[in-house]
Structure 1
Amino acid sequence: MRVILLRDSKGIGKKFDVKDVKDGYARNFLIPHGLAMVADKVSLDEINRYKAKKADDEKNVRARLGAMAKKLENERFIFSVRAGAKSEVFGSIGSRDIEERIKKVAENENDLDNLEVMMDQPLKSLGEREIRVNLGHGITVAVPVMLEAIKESRR
């Protein structure tokens, strides 16, 4: 019997795959547990439309993220921090701080659900460096980040 999987099923396939399984397995397990439905012409057409729409949406998101990556490469993220005499920073700048700045620059924050700033440890020294950022959907970009000392006036 041909069925359409409604969820990822270990050993069978992924969601919306069309599979041939034994009749008893489909009738007694997959269909009653909501893991599959019978693959008839109407449901196959519906699944194909859904897959086409999903692929189109993915293409649009990747295009927007590509444009955002180019914009982020040209953007310079400057953090003003208190620092000591030897350029050590009081506190640190972590991945969450950089994520917040990136989201402020982004036009559509919804595209950045999978945003990941790839840093081993927080930034604790003055200067400029490039931080790798994964925007999701296989798009990564090197973002210039600058830590500069706050000019404090003595009273």
Structure 2
Amino acid sequence: MSTTEIILTEKIENLGVEADVVKVKRGYARNFLVPRGLALEVTPATLKRLNLLKAKRAEREAKELNEADELARRINKLKITLELETGETGKAFGSITAADIAERLKKELGGQTEVDRHRIQLDKPIKETGEHEVTIKLHHDVVAKLTINVKAKGGEEAAGEDEDKKSEDKGFKAKPKAKHAK
């Protein structure tokens, strides 16, 4: 299979970002990348355009870094309280996942800023009450720390309901089961 060198004009997943010179199969370049404007063939004229693409890339990366820094400052200031369904013994019925945290962050940050749930680094879902610190990787150079306070929901209510039932059932005694002979 013959390969050719091309200059990428946009970020392409699993291949590279703009201004990268990469080797791809000739058919992929000729039939897909070049006709869609995603890449340019390497010629002396396109090598001159490479500097423009590098400037565009540097500008985009600087903008992404600034946005990530600003978002990290906002997230570091936040302290979110989430409720976890628990039973009377304090055992959790569910858990708090990265998707739950991302949804709550969207509400807290005003709705226009959204944090992808895949950027929230949880080793496992949160199943205990208390204070937890969650790491959010916003950019390869920017990491935010979010403090989450998890409170029990339903534990106190369930315990109160059980006490009411016990007080109602005091006069009732269950009959012992008769043993049946075979």
- SS at 1:133 equivalent: strand
Q: Which residue of 91, 94, 99 corresponds with 1:96?
A: 99
Q: Which residue of 17, 32, 41 corresponds with 1:37?
A: 41
**Any unmatched runs of 5+ in structure 1?**
20-27
Q: Which residue of 65, 69, 72 corresponds with 2:68?
A: 65
- How far off is 1:126 after superposition? 0.7
**1:117/1:40 CA distance change after superposition, 3 Å:** same
Which residue identity lines up with residue 46 of structure 1 in the other structure?
Answer: R
CA contact (8 A) 1:18 1:39 kept: no
- How far off is 1:98 after superposition? 0.9
What is the CA deviation profile of residues 96-146 of structure 1, one whole-angstrom value per residue up to 9, with x for unaligned ones?
Answer: 111222233346536x45851111111111101101111133321111011
- SS at 1:89 equivalent: coil
Q: What is the TM-score with the length of structure 2 in the denominator?
A: 0.60
Alignment of 1:6-155 (within 5 A): 6=8, 16-17=19-20, 32=30, 34=34, 37-41=41-45, 43-106=46-109, 108-109=112-113, 112=115, 115-150=118-153, 152=157, 154=161
CA contact (8 A) 1:4 1:39 kept: no
* Alpha-carbon distance in structure 1 between the residues aligned to 2:53 and 2:103: 34
Which residue identity lines up with residue 81 of structure 1 in the other structure?
Answer: L
CA contact (8 A) 1:114 1:136 kept: no
Which residue identity lines up with residue 103 of structure 2 in the other structure?
Answer: E
- How far off is 1:78 after superposition? 0.9
- Overall identity of the aligned pairs, in %: 25
Which residue identity lines up with residue 44 of structure 2 in the other structure?
Answer: D
CA contact (8 A) 1:99 1:115 kept: no
Aligned match of 1:5: 7
Which residue identity lines up with residue 82 of structure 1 in the other structure?
Answer: E
CA RMSD of aligned residues (A): 3.7
Whose strand fraction is larger, Structure 1's or Structure 2's?
Answer: 1
CA contact (8 A) 2:102 2:117 kept: no
**1:113/1:57 CA distance change after superposition, 3 Å:** farther
Which residue identity lines up with residue 145 of structure 1 in the other structure?
Answer: I
